[in-house]
Structure 1
Amino acid sequence: MERLPGLDWVEVVAENVCADHLPPSLAELRSRGVTVVPHGVSLGLGGAAEPDPARLARLAAVTEALGAPLVSEHLAFVRAGGLEAGHLLPVPRTREALRVVAANVRIAQRELPAPLALENIAAQLAWPGDELTEAQFLAELVERTGVRLLVDVANLHTGRVNLGVDPAAELDRLPLDALAYVHVAGGVERDGVWHDTHTHPVTAPVLEVLAALCERTDPPGVLLERDGAYPPPAELSAELDAIRRVHRTARVHREENARVRA
């Protein structure tokens, strides 16, 4: 990553970093002034139990070691009754679950040394009895806690393919004034199911969702997630350039629409 030109900032999976022993790549990036944001995957704020104090303390230490301006996690649960799911599972979107998640978020906010942003997940299923869409759930969570949002447009596309959710409708329900940053990622469809792999190229439908978001607001940052099967640097740079083009084009459209309304 440190050899790619034009990087504004990067993200690192928080659980893969030791606060007292940063990898050379991160140390190199930080020495050049590149912001590094820790992204947690195992805090489990959507579970019935309160966040584990040891996990919170470790996440806080990594955030401080990186000098990060914010830290992100997922609206998901990952464990229950001592069992680990091994995956980010959707939270039952009920009023009772909202109360529990809001309490967990407040605990995390008290312990973390930087603002917290929560991400919508790539869901393969939905629970029966949901009372809210994911966007409505997140909107109420923002209102109750002041938590910020990490909007993953690839995960919105996942919901479209797997669950029939309309990304545009979800974007309209989200409080985008709370947006911290945006994820873009590649995936693949197999037997009618979209898998958010982070190891495939970003597809046109995902970029279309990014464009829809950028036409509604100017995101503070957009990040390409790639967790493996890394292509040559030129291919990664081309994906970043495609994301930048979508961002620039949407900004032009948004400004033109604003002039027309004025």
Structure 2
Amino acid sequence: MIPVDGRAIYGLWLRDTKRFLRTPSRIVGSLATPLLFLVFMGVGFQGAAIPGLPEDVDYLQYLVPGIVGFTMLFGASFAGLSILADQDVGFLKEILVAPVSRTSIVLGRIAGGSTTALVQALLILGLSVPLGFEPASYLSMPLALVFLVLLAVTFVGFGIALASQFSDSEGFGLIVQFVIFPLFFLSGALYPLEGLPGSIRYAAYANPLTYGVDGLRAVLVGTSSFPVLVDFGALLVSSAAMVAIGAFLFERVEAV
């Protein structure tokens, strides 16, 4: 068994990061949907009576962590598209036949996808400040970064696992969008989970994004549905599980 190769991980991370940063249109496009949600809902529902919303929390303050979480979900899951793009140009075949382990390849792609998703999320967080968002404490930003990293790893792993089962980007894009929006709406990103019916609420509790949004809300706004340690533990488990599943499924990809 070929051991994990740090140079291969670094090389794939560097390639994905440079490709993202050198494509301004991709950066702007990845921010458009989250920013629309933030502007229209954050401003449109300002002062509205939202069932379950804490009395001392403005809706924009409540919404921003949810939109940041959505940005991570959207950007990280579509990291799988880069694998299919590499398959189309033949680069995937080259790295699959290289003398490095499939685990190294998966870890490199997860590192690159997580970095690009983090850039997108931090840009959205920065753009929310002029709209009126103010973190409870800027000292909490390192904790927020921990939750963002765990969210990124979880959903990049998910994207890689899903992409490994497809040979065309069109089919992958349809399925990933079909998965993304239910996860988003069942995460408490837009409205408190307490207002959901019991059966749907249980489905929300099985959603990793629920704990990511709640953890971000706890450290950035000072309100949450679960203890921070519960959010952290759930994300730690989900990120480890997605990395393992992504590595397992990628091991079965043929170099053809």
Classify the TM-score, shorter chain.
Answer: under 0.3
Structure having the larger proportion of residues in helix: 2
Choose between structure 1 and 2: higher strand proportion: 1
Q: TM-score, normalised by structure 2?
A: 0.25
| TM-score normalised according to structure 1 size | 0.25
Q: Of the two structures, which has the highest relative contact order with CA contacts closer than 8 Å and spacing of 6 or more?
A: 2
